[in-house]
Amino acid sequence: MSETSVAAPADLAELRAMLSAVAGPINFIGGGTDMLIAGRPMPAVGLLIDLSRIAGMAFICADDGGIRVGGATTVAAIAAHRGIATRLPALAEAAAQCGSVQIRNRATIGGNIANAAPAADLVPVLVAAKARLGCIGRDGASRELAICDYAPDRGFLIAEVILPRDGLLPRSAFVKLGPRLDLSISRLNIALLAEFQDGRFGDVRIAAGALGPRPLRLRIAEAALAGRKLEHATLRDFLAALAADVDAAIPGRNSQAYKRRAISGLGLDLIAQAVGLSPRDQLFEDVVQ
């Protein structure tokens, strides 16, 4: 039985060479916030590659085109990035609400995806934004795939997250519901990207976490909002649609009864954030009377 060895490649070229040269099992470690906690056995054998020191794997590029985020970029860096706050505020918001200060300082966007937790906070935003992942395979070669096609057991390293320009919409929002405000695993989280002009929604994409093994699009709710004017009737239809999405996602689950109700509160918070209103605005209060 061979012990685990650890490698810390300095750049992507060295990493690629390592991947193609090593025959045994390989595991990656980014921030380690899920891997290093007690109760999770570390891999007993093979090579553990530390991604935190690879030059060029932690970056954010949010120019006029799309947005590109290096796989080893920390959640804290995403939360603090001005370009992301401007272009995709939902991602900044999700990053700001992920874990605790200490976790955000270590955890990476690549790890948030690869850890594949159903409640991962960044992933609904990425799904709604139709993100693509720039991956490196075991052969050291690059390939790109849609986030929906990513599976952690295929051995792909997430080198960068690509948010194509045409996937972004002018408004976005992220809200979560956990047992407490901070250091909280989402019981429900929702991301929304939308066009919204002159009080009317255009194209709308919504994805939610903790409603299944992986975040999913809420198609019924999207349809209830798309092309509609922001008014009481729309919001009522939207809330009913959200409940229908929950019913479709987790029929018969213990949590269904709670989540189908609670999602209405989250839904209103989501719309308020997206259009820049307070969730305590009379518009929303009227809907729940």
Partner 1 sequence: MNQLSRRVPLVDGVAKVTGALRFTADLDVEGLLHGALVLSTHPHARVARVDPAAALAVEGVHEVFWHGNTPAHLYNSSIWFSGQKALADEQMFPQVVRHIGDRVAAVIADTEEIARRAARLIEVDYVDVPTIFDPEVALGHAGLPLRQDDTPTFLSPVAGETFVYGDPEAGFAAADLIVETRVTTPRSHHCAVETHACIARPEPDGRILVLSPCQSVFAVQAVVGQALSLPSEKIRVQKTPIGGSFGGKAEPILDPLCAFFALKLNRPVIIRYDRQETFTATRTRSSVTGRMRIGLKSDGRILARETETLVDIGAYCTGGNYLPSSMLQRLVRLYDVPAERYSGRAVYTNTVPAGAFRGYGSPQIHTIAEISLDIAARRMGMDPVALRQRNLVGPGAIEPWQGLDLGNARGRECLARGAEAFSWVGRRQRGVGRGRWRRGVGVASATHINGCYPGFHEETTASLRLLPDGRAELICALHDLGCGADTTLAQIAAETLGLRACDIVIVPADTDTCPYDLGTRASRMTYICGEAIRRAGVSLARSVRAAAGLELNTPADDLRLEAGTVRRRDDAGIALPDLAARLASRGIELPAATESYRAQANPGSYAAHFAEVEVDRLTGRVMVTDYLAAHDVGRAINPMLVEGQIHGGVQIGIGYALYEDVAIDLATGRMRGDSFSRYTLANAPEMPPLRVLLVEEGEPTGPFGAKAIGEIATIPVAAAVVNAVNDALGTELTELPLSPERVLAAID
Binding site for partner 1 (CB under 8 A): 38-39, 177, 179-185, 257-258, 261-262, 264-266, 268, 279-280, 284-285, 288-289
CB of 162 vs partner 1, minimal distance in Å: 31
CB of 180 vs partner 1, minimal distance in Å: 5
Q: Which residue number, 52 or 184, has a Cβ lying nearer to partner 1?
A: 184
Kindly state the tokens that stand for 197: 């002009």
Q: Which residue number, 23 or 38, has a Cβ lying nearer to partner 1?
A: 38
CB of 184 vs partner 1, minimal distance in Å: 8
Q: Smallest Cα–Cα separation from 131: which of 158, 98, 102?
A: 158
Which amino acid is present at 40?
A: R
Q: Which residue number, 153 or 182, has a Cβ lying nearer to partner 1?
A: 182
How far CA 146 is from CA of 11, 164, 272, in Å, comes to 25, 11, 29
If you search the block for the tokens 């939360």, which residue do you land on?
79
CB of 58 vs partner 1, minimal distance in Å: 26
CB of 106 vs partner 1, minimal distance in Å: 16
Q: Which residue number, 6 or 288, has a Cβ lying nearer to partner 1?
A: 288
CB of 246 vs partner 1, minimal distance in Å: 13
Strands (E), the chain: 5-7, 26-29, 47-50, 60-61, 67-70, 132-136, 142-146, 157-163, 171-177, 188-197, 200-209, 216-217
Distance between start and end Cα atoms, the chain: 65
User: What is d(CA 229, CA 4) in angstroms, rounded to the nearest whole number?
Assistant: 58
Q: Which residue number, 86 or 278, has a Cβ lying nearer to partner 1?
A: 278
Kindly state the tokens that stand for 275: 């259009």
Q: Which residue number, 276 or 282, has a Cβ lying nearer to partner 1?
A: 282
Integer-rounded Cα Rg, in Å, for the chain is 20
